[in-house]
A and B are shown apart, each in its own frame.
Chain A
């Protein structure tokens, strides 16, 4: 059955290193979202794309985070340089309409 996939599932890295997270949306979905989940803040929207174009990235720290969709089957979220406060679970979700989203299993990031 169709589902959103994310890689890697877990990532441990040292402060200052670049981190790249990947997401494969459900085939045919034209909207892709990136969320971050922490114990303190809960789920926060970082950015979302429609038809591969970024529509809103206001939730993303611009100095170190970047999100792209090189093609319709791949979305990437990069952090450079990473910091310990970036440790969180990063979720990708996709959908056909903004209000109905299907979530991937997440990438659990730990920055030491």
Chain B
């Protein structure tokens, strides 16, 4: 079974700082990896999707990288803002499993 781990579970940073969220997975046979954002009481919003053949994806202040061989992904957020405060989840789509496997998330707080 695919295990997805996110460290740290919670992170607080002052506004303006750059930060990195980490995701690791045990089985490198993945089709893609996604980073989602979840606001309190809300559903999940997909932020970035990296195909297994790619090494990174960028959207605005967000950059996600993927190292499939080592089972790791990072989400880099530049110049953090209070509006970035949310829980960030990574999920891998395992080849043949027809299923997304989610990490337990990192709760980010950006302090004004």
Which of A's residues lie within 8 Å of B, judged by CB?
4, 42-43, 45, 48, 55-56, 91, 93, 98-106, 108
Contact = CB atoms under 8 A, between A and B. Distances in A.
Contact of B89 (A43, A98, A106, A108): A43
B49 interface: yes
Point out which of A43, A98, A105, A106 has the most chain B C-beta atoms below 10 A from its C-beta.
A43
Nearest to B30: A99
A4 B43 contact: yes
Given A56-B99, A100-B49, 18 more contacts: A42-B89, A43-B102, A45-B99, A48-B98, A93-B43, A98-B93, A99-B31, A99-B32, A99-B34, A99-B49, A99-B93, A100-B46, A101-B46, A102-B46, A103-B36, A103-B43, A105-B43, A108-B41
Interface of B: 31-32, 34, 36, 41-46, 49, 89, 91, 93, 98-100, 102-105
A104 B36 CA distance: 13
The 6 closest A-B pairs by CB, nearest first: A103-B43, A43-B102, A42-B104, A103-B44, A99-B93, A105-B43
A103 B93 CA distance: 16
7 contacts: A43-B89, A56-B99, A93-B43, A98-B99, A100-B49, A102-B46, A105-B42
A101 B100 contact: yes
Contacts of A106: 41-43
Given A42-B105, A43-B89, A99 B44 contact: no
A91 B43 contact: yes
Contact of B98 (A43, A98, A103): A98
A10 to B, nearest CB: 9
B103 to A, nearest CB: 7
Of B31, B34, B100, most buried by chain A (CB within 10 Å of CB) is: B100
A48 B97 CA distance: 12
A20 B23 CA distance: 34
Contacts of B98: 48, 55-56, 98
A104 B43 CA distance: 5
Given A42-B102, A42-B103, A45-B99, A103 B45 contact: yes
